[in-house]
Amino acid sequence: MKNIFYILFVLLISVKSSRAIEIDTSSFEVQRAKVNALLNERTQKFGAFDTSLSKKTGIFGLFKTNADMQKSMDILKEIIKHDNKIFIETRKLLTIKDAHAVKYQQLANQYDDQVTAYMKTISKLQAENEKLRSHHDDLKNEDRSDNIIIFALSLSLMALLFIVYKQYTYIKSKKLT
């Protein structure tokens, strides 16, 4: 009986909390997708930077011009700015993850407390049930002993009436003779 209550309680909690988990998971997934998109953009920008490093538009394509160097530096600055965005978004992702961990720990503690409270209640009810059963058995036994006493008294009364009747008939028959 105790196990049935426990199983029903756990099922109720899991259904209730699954909706909250879906919402929290979706925000985590959105943030993770955002970080992945930023990483993909960074890879493309780094490819453009690598291409600009190898580009030489100077005399006969042998030397880099100041414009080539400036273009590479501009791409590098964009990469650095992009890296800063990635760090910020990654920090947000980690914050969400930490918040989830804290929330799940709090939920686990709360559910543990609730289960403990339910188990105490069930134990208390089982003890009360046992107490009532023993009281019922005592009353049943007491009722049996009362029935035995009543039966014995009734039997004694009938025996006494029988004896009185026999004496009465004996006295009556003696008077008639």
Interval 68-108: pLDDT, tens:
888 889 989 999 999 999 999 999 999 988 988 899 999 99
Q: How far apart are the C-alpha atoms of 41 and 70, rounded to whole Å?
A: 21
Q: Report pLDDT for 55.
A: 78
Interval 136-163: pLDDT, tens:
888 877 767 777 888 888 899 999 999 9
- Which region, left, alpha or beta, applies to residue 61 given φ > 0 means left and ψ of -120 to 50 means alpha? left
Q: Report pLDDT for 89.
A: 92
Q: Report pLDDT for 139.
A: 80
Q: Report pLDDT for 84.
A: 93
Torsion angles phi and psi, residue 65, rounded to 5: -90, 170
pLDDT range class, residue 132, cuts 50, 70, 90:
very high
Measured at the CA of 98, the angle between CA 94 and CA 101, to 5 degrees, comes to 140
Q: pTM of the predicted model, to two decimals?
A: 0.49
User: Is 111 strand, coil or helix?
Assistant: helix
Q: Report pLDDT for 11.
A: 52
Q: How far apart are the C-alpha atoms of 39 and 89, rounded to whole Å?
A: 11
Q: How far apart are the C-alpha atoms of 126 and 131, rounded to whole Å?
A: 9
- Tokens 């804290």 map to which residue? 102
Q: Report pLDDT for 129.
A: 94
CB of 122 closer than 8 Å to CB of 3? no
Quick one: DSSP state of residue 177?
-
Q: Is the pLDDT of residue 65 over 90?
A: no
Helix (H) and strand (E) counts for the chain? 2, 0
For residues 127 and 50, the model is more confident at: 127
